[in-house]
Amino acid sequence: MRRLPAVVLVLVLAACAPVPSGAPPIGGGSAVPPRPADVVELTAPPSAPAVAPASCDPTASLRPTGPLPAPGQMPAGSTMAKIQAHGRLIVGVDQNSYLMGFRNPFSGELEGFDVDMAREVARAIFGDPGAIQFKVLTSEERIPALEERRVDIVVRTMTVNCERWQKVNFSTVYYQAGQRVLVPSNSDVTGIESLGGRRVCVTKGSSSLANVAAAPSRPVPVSVPNWTDCLVMLQQGQVDAISTDDTILAGLAAQDPYTKVVGPQFTAEPYGMAFPKADEDFVRFVNALLERLRADGTWASIHRRWLGAPPAPPVAVYRD
């Protein structure tokens, strides 16, 4: 697993190191540290999602219709041909999830597992992984960006579920994550079951928010735009924990050695690449690409680069 360069850790920790329990706020006085913008503390659970049909398997996607066309030779009239004509693939990504999608502080470039996977899609269309334009999205912006066609595809730690399938299409699962909990290293919290009545930070528009709100222990969800906002609030003692996918938590923990990930996975979070609902040909194209990336070792190589020794990649499931 990659670690931030030492100088970056120093900068991060100097800027927002945890305040020891009982210590006065940074800068003296009794003022409460300011919260990040757009923080919402949920005093009531969010509306329940629509009930999915019993037959729904959210991990089942659309089967490839044949071998991949050669780069630069997309079928006439296809979604891929339209993307090729524009000269670049427009991808919605994150810039706040270290290891998955983050901005390198030295180069200014976006990097991570999701970013590399998106570059493979550009390579398959153009023969050039650099023929790509990234648009940074928050969790709650992902589906609107697809519906409004501001992006061609979203590759951003996005859990596939039946409710989201009603609005967008997904590829086969390219990463299998699970939700856990991040707390300060001196916390007595052992998992989601011990967070009853305590504030737990999550991002707006994420499946993690609904999972925390539905937890039997009845924690208090606090929603913010980005996961880095959660880390700041945890460091300032404004929340007791952060809960989301273990991939995202690993990145946060790598940035702050005064934190730890606790408890077992309490949900399954299969990630899929997301597409506008009408672009079924593009879904089938990307699924053919994912088959190749699993088989030729590319998926394992990208996993090793960012997340450590790779497990077997997720097995593709199809609905047709």
String of DSSP letters for 193-246:
GG-TTSEEEEETT-HHHHHHHT-TT--EEEEESSHHHHHHHHHTTS-SEEEEEH
Average pLDDT over residues 15-21: 38
> What pLDDT sits at residue 54?
60
pLDDT at 43 over 80: no
> What pLDDT sits at residue 23?
35
> What pLDDT sits at residue 55?
76
For the chain, give percent helix, strand, coil, nearest 5: 30, 20, 50
> What pLDDT sits at residue 311?
97
Average pLDDT over residues 162-169: 97
Which residue in 297, 317, 300, 296 sits closest to 309, CA to CA? 300
pLDDT at 309 over 80: yes
Torsion of CA 249, 254, 256, 260, to 10 degrees: 50
pLDDT at 27 over 80: no
Tracing tokens 């408890």 back to the chain, one arrives at 263
Pairing type for strands 220-224 and 199-203 reads parallel
Average pLDDT over residues 65-80: 97
The H-or-E segment that residue 303 falls in is: helix 298-307
C-alpha–C-alpha distance, residues 221 and 210, integer Å: 9
Q: Which of 51-55, 173-177, 217-221, 281-285 has the lowest mean pLDDT?
A: 51-55
pLDDT at 7 over 50: no
Q: Do domains 70-175+270-308 and 179-267 have the same CATH topology?
A: yes
Q: How far is CA 31 from CA 35, 41, 221, 233, in A?
A: 12, 20, 23, 15
- Considering the four listed CATH numbers 1.10.10.10, 3.40.190.10, 3.30.470.10, 1.10.3720.10, the one that applies to the domain covering 70-175+270-308 is 3.40.190.10
Look up residue 237 and give its two tokens: 């003692």
> What pLDDT sits at residue 6?
35
The H-or-E segment that residue 10 falls in is: helix 6-16
Which residue in 197, 193, 210 sits closest to 244, CA to CA? 210
C-alpha–C-alpha distance, residues 124 and 112, integer Å: 19
Tracing tokens 């989201």 back to the chain, one arrives at 164
Whole-structure pTM value: 0.85
pLDDT at 14 over 60: no
- Read off the pLDDT band of 242 (50, 70, 90): very high
Residue 7: what residue type?
V
C-alpha–C-alpha distance, residues 263 and 1, integer Å: 20
Average pLDDT over residues 174-202: 97
- Considering the four listed CATH numbers 3.40.50.1110, 3.90.25.10, 3.40.190.10, 3.40.50.300, the one that applies to the domain covering 179-267 is 3.40.190.10
Average pLDDT for the chain: 89
> What pLDDT sits at residue 314?
98
C-alpha–C-alpha distance, residues 75 and 65, integer Å: 12
pLDDT at 173 over 70: yes
> What pLDDT sits at residue 166?
97
Give bridge partners of residue 97 from the DSSP assignment.
101
C-alpha–C-alpha distance, residues 173 and 257, integer Å: 31
Q: Which of 16-25, 34-43, 48-57, 193-202 has the lowest mean pLDDT?
A: 16-25
Look up residue 188 and give its two tokens: 């007595």
For the chain, the structural domain boundaries read 70-175+270-308, 179-267
Pair 156, 92: CB distance under 8 Å: yes
